[in-house]
Amino acid sequence: MRGWFSHPREKGGADTGPSPVDRRKTGSKHHLISDGRGTPLKVITTAANVNDITQTLNLVDGIPPVAGRPGRPRRRPLCQPWVRRPASSG
């Protein structure tokens, strides 16, 4: 089939559509970072032609801080769910 077309450009036509390597993509991407259990910590929506690596710092910086005071707890919690209390009769 060599030489079938006079020029490589002429292979396509009006019905072929855009090139798959075209960078002019429309749409959007959802960037998501989650914890070990799969709970989403931060979600960003960007244009489809934005590089993924440029959004990494935005995701990491957008993680909310852990609530509570720093350091170990000063006293035991009042209710411990793993300890079964005896049923009271009365």
pLDDT tens digits, one per residue of 45-90: 998 888 888 888 889 999 988 887 888 877 766 666 666 666 666 5
pTM of the predicted structure, to 2 decimals: 0.47
Tokens 């019905």 correspond to 15
Which residues lie below 8 Å from residue 59, measured CB to CB, with a gap of 6+? Answer: 31, 32, 33, 42, 44
86, two tokens: 């005896």
19-50 pLDDT per residue, tens:
666 666 678 899 999 999 999 999 999 988 88
